[in-house]
């Protein structure tokens, strides 16, 4: 493991220094191992680890390449990690969302295109039509917030929020809302966000999103408390 960790560090250093820029092809394994003064097995395991992290792309029969290093690739693993979080740590995720999502929604109010707003309106209609359908609500809720965050034009923020907005978390919140006969109220919170965005009012968009995240967090606390009981 120590040799693998060292190989990972060396390869990452080559990427950070610009010696291996995005899209470039790594030397063949024997050459790379000799160049770094490490064993081929250590280099091989390092490449596997960096491939899993979406830093490298191993193309069978062609070679190993540095990926585009785009945020959507490098932050992809965040969503997988969030899906494994338990109870209190899920509340920490909601706290992070409360810090980021309202600000992002305020920015979206100034940057969102008319086409994106029209799409958001259609998603809102789908949400109303699915008011009692747990699975469908999860899908349209995800699409709604992804459309809003993507409108910021910030790929890093979009990828980060995608990772934090786990399906498990949404499922627990919507299940609680439906069982508590509060799904319609939460759908209206989405409508309030939509109206603020349509009005191009960043402060109102921020406030509407903050209220919505607070409601979701409160329902998650309720669901977790019921499970503990």
pLDDT of residue 19: 95
At 67, list the tokens. Answer: 């990926």
Distance CA 176, CA 33 (A): 54
Q: 164-223: per-residue pLDDT in tens?
A: 887 767 777 777 777 778 888 899 999 999 999 999 999 999 999 999 999 988 888 887
Whether the predicted pLDDT of 1 surpasses 80: no
pLDDT of residue 76: 84
Residue 116: its pLDDT value, please? 97
pTM of the model as a whole: 0.82
Strand partners for 59: 63
CA 60 to chain centre: 29
């Amino acid at each position: 493991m120590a040799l693998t960790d060292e190989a990972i560090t060396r390869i990452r250093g080559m990427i950070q220094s610009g010696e291996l820029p995005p899209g470039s092809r790594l030397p063949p394994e024997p050459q790379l191992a000799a160049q770094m003064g490490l064993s081929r097995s250590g280099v091989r395991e390092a490449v596997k680890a960096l491939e899993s992290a979406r830093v490298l792309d191993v193309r069978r029969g062609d070679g190993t390449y540095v990926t585009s290093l785009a945020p959507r690739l490098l932050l992809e693993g965040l969503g997988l990690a969030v899906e494994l979080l338990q109870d209190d740590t899920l509340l920490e995720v909601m706290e992070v969302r409360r810090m980021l999502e309202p600000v992002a929604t305020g920015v979206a109010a100034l940057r969102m295109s008319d086409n994106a707003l029209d799409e958001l309106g259609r998603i809102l209609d789908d949400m109303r039509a699915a008011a009692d359908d747990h699975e469908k609500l999860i899908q349209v809720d995800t699409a709604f917030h992804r459309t809003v965050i993507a409108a910021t034009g910030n790929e890093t923020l979009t990828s980060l929020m995608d990772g934090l907005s786990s399906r498990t978390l949404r499922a627990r919140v919507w299940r609680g809302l439906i069982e508590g006969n509060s799904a319609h109220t939460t759908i209206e919170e989405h409508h309030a966000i939509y109206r603020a965005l349509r009005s191009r009012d960043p402060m109102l968009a921020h406030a509407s999103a903050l209220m919505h995240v607070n409601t979701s967090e409160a329902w998650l606390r309720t669901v977790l408390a019921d499970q503990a009981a």
